[in-house]
Structure 1
Amino acid sequence: MTEVVIVGGGPVGLFLAALLLQQGVGVRVLEQRVSPNTHSRAIGIHPPSMEALDAVGVAGTLASDGVQIRRGVALWAGKEFAHMRFDTIPARYPFILSVPQALTEAVLARRVRELDSDAVRAGVRAIGLRDDGGTLIADTESISGRGSFRAALVIAADGAHSTVRELLGTPTRLKTYPDAYLMGDFADNTPFGPDAALFLDAQGIVESFPLPGGTRRWVARLPAGPPRAETPALSAERLAALLRQRTGLTVDAGSNSMMSGFGVRSRGVRRMVQGRTFFIGDAAHEISPIGGQGMNLGWMDALALAPIITAFLAGVVTDREVRSYDRTRRRAAARAMRQAEINMALGRPLPPPALAVRNLTIGRLAAIPAINSGVARRFTMR
């Protein structure tokens, strides 16, 4: 028997494991993947998350491996009409760090192994969850056969398609949106350097973020409907064409190293605590990736949950503290969902006259220091 079983070995589950192991808590992380995922979707680490990652000793490594985005610029018709600075916000890490999720996971996994070389069980899939009245039993399946893990608590950190959520029949609220995007990483031949760039075009937004290794991520809102199923090479050509049309910039489709198309939905559990099972990250709240809040929100869940877990194991946690965790984290998710909806609305197509009015208004407001700073704080989840 172990004290805590964490289902899901992504960045959120690994971060919680490191927090708990540092406190002497026995942890087993069940990760159904046999090998690490090299497909990086999440790249942005916000200042509060950098401070949280510092608590497990990995923030410095990530900061040196990533690109520190200290400024974002908004462009229209080839010209910058607004900018936002992140390095004026009081914070220990005054920037948004751009680093591939695969690298973030690798750094966290190495930290977990340093704390307990046997903590992560790869290739193990949860297929059942039972409560015998004294402990929780996670039934599992792996290449070596079926087995089980006993624990005082189970943490569901197994993503938007959570197996634990399905096993428990956990009710959720689901909302779908009409927006769809095409995303790809290409060699960076732009003049933006470490800046993020948003192109507010009449046909839809284009977002651009620097990545380590001379690479830049591009995200373009699709004209209508869900992304088409096509080969990565065809998708890269399609995205390159959209970028030329909306930004006037040319990217080398042949330099593409990652492609992804996605629609958007939001989903939230009605309770983040179900018996002695806790939900965190995308298992608890799926949010539009536009704005890069999902992974960061999951880390804040883990940071808030860790002391609840240690208190529970010590027999001193109260129902009031558990209810407070459930309430405050669901509120945080609701705020993030509202911000994501604002971000998506900003990127939808507009007739040229309406686009001109909106962009000019944004430019005037961004020139007011107090407003600029306030918006920057919202974007960085301060």
Structure 2
Amino acid sequence: MTRVHDAAIVGAGPVGLLVAALLAQGGADVVVLERAQAPSASTRAIGIHPPGLAALDAAGVGDRVRGEAALVRGGEALRDGRMLGALAFDEPVRTLPQHRTEALLVQRLRALDPGALRRGESVRGLRSVADGVELRTDDGIVRARAVVGADGTRSAVRTAAGIGWERRDPDTRWVMGDADDTTGQPETALLHLEREGVVESFPLPGGRRRWVLRVDDDTGPETAAGFAALVRERIGVDLEGLEEPSRFAARQRMARAFARGRIALVGDAAHEISPIGGQGMNLGWLDALALAEAFAAARARGAEGEEPWAGWAEERRAAARRAMRRARFNMAMGAPRAGAALAVRDVAVRALSSAPFRGALSAAFTMRGL
């Protein structure tokens, strides 16, 4: 007879791995199906916000993250080299390259269940069966009482479940690259709100800093030299030790439902949020933590055969809508401005960083209330 797992997680990114670790830690029999043969070391999310760190703590990896990550204790907004406003965070944001966070989660999962992660195994289809869901993979059939799709924006699980994917906002184009930190502010995020578009930078471990530029279209710089020239043109800073940049589109998308039957969607499979600052990854971790709690409650009441996600799905969809509103505001503030619109933005930034609004803005930047 084919083994029936308590849960099959599709996708071994940071969100899928956290789901798996949380469920395995709670005593569930899990399997993680990942199509890639090896983990990626490409430049991706770095920000770990306080609520996300709490989710990592719940899985037993928070202290390891603290030991490797850089601290971001606050931020400054500038234009033409002049300070518009500053924030200090009650709790720091931490930064750590995504591949290191994933490696720590893999280590934790292997300590809990050495055979749970199966790489090089793509999901080709799925169907509901009497005792759960049957997944067809490259290596045969996997059966589970529940399935969690954590397989990204092009989710095969979402498609197979027949769940629609809605576009919420127009795309914006960005380029990012990592360089030596020569700012003299190793614990401060810097937002240069320039006429041509925002230039953001965030501390990284090892004395490095990530630089992110908004560009008009797909013709942004493809080389380190071109990237450095654009930073120099906009804010007059010369970058040192710059790696080759990568381009990406900031998108806002959301699944029409986060659950259907015994299938749930988390992370980028459920919602694609502007990735600047690791917002999408952290939101996915909060999905994972709430999902694990819902799953544990269903098991505790002996209801593994029921649909465990209904209340969870509505709560997390509401959280994703709040995150999208915040991201929409951030994208608007970083757009190119000129003339009166530029002056209005300067006034707004100064007002938002003043005492009456500072606490709410700090909470939004550190992803409170999601």
After TM superposition, the score normalised by the length of structure 2 is 0.94
Q: Which moved more, 1:285-294 or 1:8-17?
A: 285-294
Give yes or no for contact 1:16–1:302 (8 Å, CA) kept in 2: yes
Task: Specify the alignment match of 1:357 in structure 2.
Answer: 344
Report 1:120-269 matches (<5 A): 120-141=117-138, 146-222=139-215, 224-227=216-219, 234-252=222-240, 255-269=241-255
What is the aligned counterpart of 1:373 among 359, 363, 366?
359
Deviation at 1:316, TM superposition (A): 3.5
Deviation at 1:266, TM superposition (A): 1.5
Q: Which runs of 4+ in 1 moved over 4 A?
A: 317-321
SS at match of 1:257: coil
Deviation at 1:352, TM superposition (A): 4.0
Give yes or no for contact 1:183–1:259 (8 Å, CA) kept in 2: yes
Residue 329, structure 1, aligned to residue 326, structure 2: no
In 1, the alpha carbon distance for the partners of 2:213 and 2:170 equals 16
Report 1:258-297 matches (<5 A): 258-297=244-283
Q: How big is each residue's C-alpha offset from its partner over 1:6-47, in whole Å with a ceiling of 9 and x where there is no partner?
A: 000111011111111111100000111111110131100110
Deviation at 1:80, TM superposition (A): 2.1
SS at match of 1:130: strand
Deviation at 1:211, TM superposition (A): 0.6
Residue 83, structure 1, aligned to residue 86, structure 2: yes
Residue identity matched to 2:28: V
Residue 45, structure 1, aligned to residue 48, structure 2: yes
In 2, the alpha carbon distance for the partners of 1:299 and 1:178 equals 24
In 2, the alpha carbon distance for the partners of 1:306 and 1:58 equals 16
Q: How big is each residue's C-alpha offset from its partner over 1:229-283, in whole Å with a ceiling of 9 and x where there is no partner?
A: x7xxx4322221111111110013xx33352111232211111111110111100
318 and 300 in structure 1: CA distance in 2 versus 1, 3 angstrom threshold: farther
Residue 342, structure 1, aligned to residue 335, structure 2: no
Give yes or no for contact 2:161–2:263 (8 Å, CA) kept in 1: no
Residue identity matched to 2:254: G
In 1, the alpha carbon distance for the partners of 2:171 and 2:34 equals 32
Deviation at 1:190, TM superposition (A): 1.8
Give yes or no for contact 1:81–1:363 (8 Å, CA) kept in 2: yes
Give yes or no for contact 1:66–1:97 (8 Å, CA) kept in 2: yes
In 2, the alpha carbon distance for the partners of 1:198 and 1:293 equals 16
22 and 220 in structure 1: CA distance in 2 versus 1, 3 angstrom threshold: same
321 and 275 in structure 1: CA distance in 2 versus 1, 3 angstrom threshold: closer
Deviation at 1:318, TM superposition (A): 10
Task: Specify the alignment match of 1:91 in structure 2.
Answer: none
In 1, the alpha carbon distance for the partners of 2:72 and 2:207 equals 14
In 1, the alpha carbon distance for the partners of 2:43 and 2:107 equals 18
Deviation at 1:357, TM superposition (A): 3.4
Residue 16, structure 1, aligned to residue 4, structure 2: no
SS at match of 2:283: helix
Q: Which consecutive residues of structure 1, in runs of 5 or more, have no partner in the other structure?
A: 89-93
Deviation at 1:56, TM superposition (A): 1.4
In 2, the alpha carbon distance for the partners of 1:320 and 1:163 equals 20
Question: How large is the Cα RMSD of the aligned pairs?
Answer: 1.8
In 2, the alpha carbon distance for the partners of 1:115 and 1:40 equals 28
What is the aligned counterpart of 2:28 among 25, 30, 35?
25
Deviation at 1:130, TM superposition (A): 1.7
147 and 28 in structure 1: CA distance in 2 versus 1, 3 angstrom threshold: same
Q: How big is each residue's C-alpha offset from its partner over 1:44-72, in whole Å with a ceiling of 9 and x where there is no partner?
A: 01101111111111111111101110110
Give yes or no for contact 2:259–2:265 (8 Å, CA) kept in 1: yes
Q: Which consecutive residues of structure 2, in runs of 5 or more, have no partner in the other structure?
A: none
281 and 247 in structure 1: CA distance in 2 versus 1, 3 angstrom threshold: same
In 1, the alpha carbon distance for the partners of 2:325 and 2:306 equals 29
Q: How big is each residue's C-alpha offset from its partner over 1:288-312, in whole Å with a ceiling of 9 and x where there is no partner?
A: 1134310011011111111222233
266 and 329 in structure 1: CA distance in 2 versus 1, 3 angstrom threshold: same
In 2, the alpha carbon distance for the partners of 1:357 and 1:338 equals 20
In 2, the alpha carbon distance for the partners of 1:340 and 1:357 equals 20
In 2, the alpha carbon distance for the partners of 1:292 and 1:109 equals 19
Deviation at 1:319, TM superposition (A): 7.6
Give yes or no for contact 2:34–2:121 (8 Å, CA) kept in 1: yes
Residue 58, structure 1, aligned to residue 61, structure 2: yes
Deviation at 1:193, TM superposition (A): 1.4
319 and 355 in structure 1: CA distance in 2 versus 1, 3 angstrom threshold: farther
53 and 295 in structure 1: CA distance in 2 versus 1, 3 angstrom threshold: same
Deviation at 1:215, TM superposition (A): 1.3
SS at match of 1:299: helix
SS at match of 1:17: helix
How many residue pairs get aligned? The number is 364
Give yes or no for contact 1:308–1:317 (8 Å, CA) kept in 2: no
Deviation at 1:227, TM superposition (A): 4.3
Q: Which moved more, 1:155-164 or 1:357-366?
A: 357-366
Give yes or no for contact 1:181–1:227 (8 Å, CA) kept in 2: no
Deviation at 1:323, TM superposition (A): 2.6
In 2, the alpha carbon distance for the partners of 1:134 and 1:319 equals 10
In 2, the alpha carbon distance for the partners of 1:302 and 1:325 equals 10
